[in-house]
Amino acid sequence: MESTEGNSLQALRQNRGKVDSGLTHECGVFAAIGNESWEAGTEIAQIVLIGLQALQHRGQESTGIVTSEGHNEFNVQKGMGLVKNVFTNESISQLTGVMGIGHTRYSTSAKSTAINAQPFVVHSMHGSLAVAHNGELVNASTLRKQVLDRGVGLSTHSDSELITQALCLIPPDGEVNGPDWPARIRHLMQLAPLSYSLVVLLKDRIYAVRDPYGNRPLCLGKILASTHEMVNGFTEDIVNKIVDAEKPADGWVVASESCAFMKITRYMREIKPGEIVELTRSGPKTIDIIPTPAGKAMAFCIFEYVYFARPTSIFEGQEVYNARVHCGRQLALEHPVEADIVGSVPESGNAAAHGYSLQSNIPQGELLAKNTYVGRTFIQPSNRLRQMNVALKFSPILTNVKGKRIILIDDSIVRGNTVGPIIKLLRKSGAKEVHIRIASPPLKFPCYMGINIPTREELIANAKDFEDIALKVGADSLHYLSVEGLVRAVQKDIKVQGRKIGHCTACLTGEYPGGVPDNLDW
Ligand SMILES: O=P(O)(O)OC[C@H]1O[C@H](OP(=O)(O)OP(=O)(O)O)[C@H](O)[C@@H]1O
Ligand SMILES: NC(=O)CC[C@H](N)C(=O)O
Ligand code: SF4
Ligand SMILES: [Mg+2]
């Protein structure tokens, strides 16, 4: 049991994983279910495992998989660390089943410890229930009181455990013949409209649920029919044509991002904001679509496009890379400058640099080589060590840097710990001019919806001397994309039918789509 001292949001967030630079991600959820002829074994767990590896960028603190063989007892394996370190052949062999769910975690609401690793499993009156959650409940403290008032005990401070327990509550209209899971999910969505994408495992089905604002992403795919194997030996194109035909699937998958669907699984569609999808062994079925409270606008996280998601993922009918290129083009329109070369801070600045180059007709080239084996920049006690971290992470490519007027693109500046040392590095390597262009507006406000954006004080855009930041970091000029420009670039190629488009920009504007948390003490 965790300490219950200090229940304000700040107290609860104190023990979250801390890094020196960047935005730490959110979480990744994945689910897989075999069709009626699928035989119980470890193949479902293997599919979930591959999905989680593809979602590793969304959370690296802990991971877990839960499978069901159709009985009340689930098979559970969870642990601290990366997917490749937590799961072994031995642990996967314990995960037999015909359906399962999995999670990669970056903590937002409770400590990064094994007890808070997901999926959460509880045993209810009607059998076991497991939940994997990406997001953060804005009204967690009110919901917590409501659940505790109903006589339910909670063993952690995690809002994901809270969701799991809230799903065990009998809905207000009661139940006639056993548990009415869709009614329970609707009840949860009324109690807590923001923010979550969930996969919920029961003994014989899975529910995929996206909050009414559509704040966090979620999509549906299928496990390709085994025709795939029969056509081995043909070229990939022919295989694709055959499996794409409307053949019955061998099963279905759900994931935070479509980058998790590979080779044997294929993207079908996005799960709509507010949608509840029931996946049984005969296929997926939409049970309901819950509207936002008081007809409020949709609020899909715009930072999924800017930074979080893999460039190959598909949101709202467009590839993330495409939206990033538009951001770069828009940035070139808003802040042109004469230069010899456009380059990026790898890796998530790459697509925006491509867009800037296309729009400005200034050639694009690599300015920095990234050492892929250096992970995050962990908290360092001094500036000197922080700069060493950056030097370890990036090396200048002299051919493109020496004697050149450079435009350096990055997707975002958070604490400002990356950009300053990089400029120094480029100057030392002979750059004539360094112009920084940022493909998102200044980050000014914390996020309460599943992302670890630091406190206001830590965000460099809130520094007193922010106007002089270009001088401070040693750039010849530094400009950001406007909020309007970002929204325009992201929304340019969106293709969704039958619903309004809307994005959360709260960390840029301070306009929170569902209000601020009810236990905020500042
Ligand atoms: O202002 P700061 O606090 O220093 O953080 C900003 C940097 O952090 C992120 O990159 P990250 O290192 O996470 O890696 P990526 O671009 O390769 O995804 C972001 O893309 C910026 O480059
Ligand atoms: N980043 C997330 O989506 C976190 C999910 C959940 N709030 C947790 O802390 O486990
Ligand atoms: S506040 Fe920013 S990071 Fe958080 S959901 Fe909104 S856009 Fe995304
Ligand atoms: Mg970066």
Neighbours of 516 (CB within 10 A): 14
Q: Which atom of ligand 3 is nearest to the CA of 506?
A: 1
pLDDT at 260: 96
Pocket, ligand 2, Cβ cutoff 6 A: 26-27, 105-110, 116, 133-136, 158-160, 450
Closest ligand 1 atom, CA of 348?
A: 16
Alpha helices in 136-235 (DSSP H): 140-149, 159-166, 181-191, 227-230
How many A from CA of 505 to the centre of ligand 3? 6
Q: Which ligand is nearest the CA of 58, by number?
A: 2
Centre a 10 Å sphere on the Cβ of residue 64 and count the other Cβ atoms it contains: 26
CB 110 within 8 A of CB 156: yes
Among all ligands shown, which has an atom nearest to the Cα of 378? 1
Ligand 1 and 417: CB distance under 6 A: yes
Can you give the pLDDT at residue 453?
Answer: 72
Give long-range contacts, CB 8 A cutoff, 24+ apart: 511-516. Answer: 512/138, 512/448, 513/194, 513/213, 513/215, 513/296, 513/297, 513/299, 514/138, 514/193, 514/194, 514/195, 514/213, 514/293, 514/296, 514/299, 515/138, 516/138, 516/448
- List phi, psi (to 5°) of 97: 165, 175
Inter-CA distances, 196 with 159, 169, 212, 449, Å: 10, 18, 9, 8
* Span from the CA of 372 to the centroid of ligand 4 (angstroms): 12
Question: Ligand 1 atom 10: the closest Cα is on which residue?
Answer: 22
Index of the ligand 1 atom closest to the CA of residue 415: 3
412 CB within 6 A, ligand 1: yes
- As a whole number of angstroms, the distance between CA 447 and CA 450 comes to 7
Cα(418) to centroid(ligand 1), Å: 7
348 among the known binding-site residues? yes
Torsions phi, psi of 496, nearest 5? -130, 145
Establish whether residue 348 lines the binding site of ligand 1, counting it when its CB lies within 6 angstroms of any ligand atom. yes
Closest ligand to residue 55's CA? 2
Cα 22 to middle of ligand 4, angstroms: 7
What are residue 486's phi and psi, to 5 degrees?
-65, -50
Tell which atom from ligand 2 comes closest to the C-alpha of 16. 9
Q: How far are the Cα atoms of 190, 343, 357 from residue 402, in angstroms, in the given order?
A: 59, 13, 19
> Of 27, 219, 259, 327, which is the active-site residue?
27
The verdict on the CB of residue 443 being under 6 Å from ligand 1 is no
CA-closest candidate to residue 204, choices 69, 38, 42: 69
CA of 222 to the centre of ligand 2 (A): 26
Pocket mutation for ligand 3, best pick of 138, 211, 451 (most atoms within 8 Å of C-beta): 451
The interface predicted TM-score (ipTM) is: 0.97
Residue 168 annotated in ligand binding:
no
Residues with CB under 5 A from ligand 4 (ion): 348
Q: How many CA atoms lie within 13 A of 142 on its CB side?
A: 13
> What does DSSP say about strands 405-410 and 341-344: parallel, antiparallel, or unpaired?
parallel
Q: For residue 481, which of 431, 443, 426 has the smallest C-alpha distance?
A: 443
Helix, strand or coil for residue 422?
Answer: helix
* Nearest CA residue ID for atom 12, ligand 1: 22
Closest ligand 1 atom number to CA of residue 393 = 12
Ligand located closest to 23 CA: 1
Ligand 1: nearest atom to the Cα of 460: 1
- The one-digit pLDDT tens for each residue of the chain (522 residues) are 444 444 555 555 555 555 566 666 679 999 999 999 999 999 999 999 999 999 999 999 999 999 999 988 999 999 999 999 999 999 999 999 999 999 999 988 888 899 999 999 999 888 899 999 999 998 998 999 999 998 889 999 999 999 999 999 988 888 988 899 999 999 999 999 999 999 999 999 999 999 999 999 999 999 988 654 444 444 454 445 444 556 678 999 999 999 999 878 889 999 999 999 999 999 999 999 999 988 899 999 999 999 999 999 999 999 999 999 999 999 999 999 999 999 999 988 999 999 999 999 999 999 999 887 776 555 555 666 766 777 788 999 999 999 999 999 999 998 888 888 899 999 999 999 999 999 999 999 988 888 877 678 778 888 877 777 777 788 999 999 999 999 999 999 999 887 889 999 999 999 999 877 765 543
Q: Is 168 a catalytic residue?
A: no
3-state secondary structure 59-113: CCCEEEEEEECCCCCEEEEEEECCHHHHCCHHHHHCCCECEEEEEEECCCCCCCC
pLDDT for residue 70: 92
The ligand 3 site (C-beta within 6 Å) comprises 215, 301-303, 447, 449, 451, 504-507
Q: DSSP readout, 100-151? A: EEEEEE--SSS-SSGGG-SSEEEEETTEEEEEEEEE--TTHHHHHHHHHHTT
The best mutation among 14, 26, 133 to test binding of ligand 2, ranked by most ligand atoms within 8 Å of the C-beta, falls on 133
Annotated ligand binding at 219? The verdict is no
Task: Kindly report the protein residue whose alpha carbon is nearest to atom 9 of ligand 1.
Answer: 22
Could you tell me the distance, in angstroms and rounded to a whole number, from the CA of residue 348 to the centre of ligand 4? Answer: 5
**Gap between the Cα atoms of 300 and 256, Å rounded:** 13
Contact in structure between 44 and 34 (CB atoms under 8 Å)? yes
C-alpha of residue 517 to centroid of ligand 3, in Å: 14
* 410 marked among binding-site residues: yes
Q: How far, in Å, from the CA of 301 to the mean position of ligand 4?
A: 18
CB 435 within 8 A of CB 476: yes
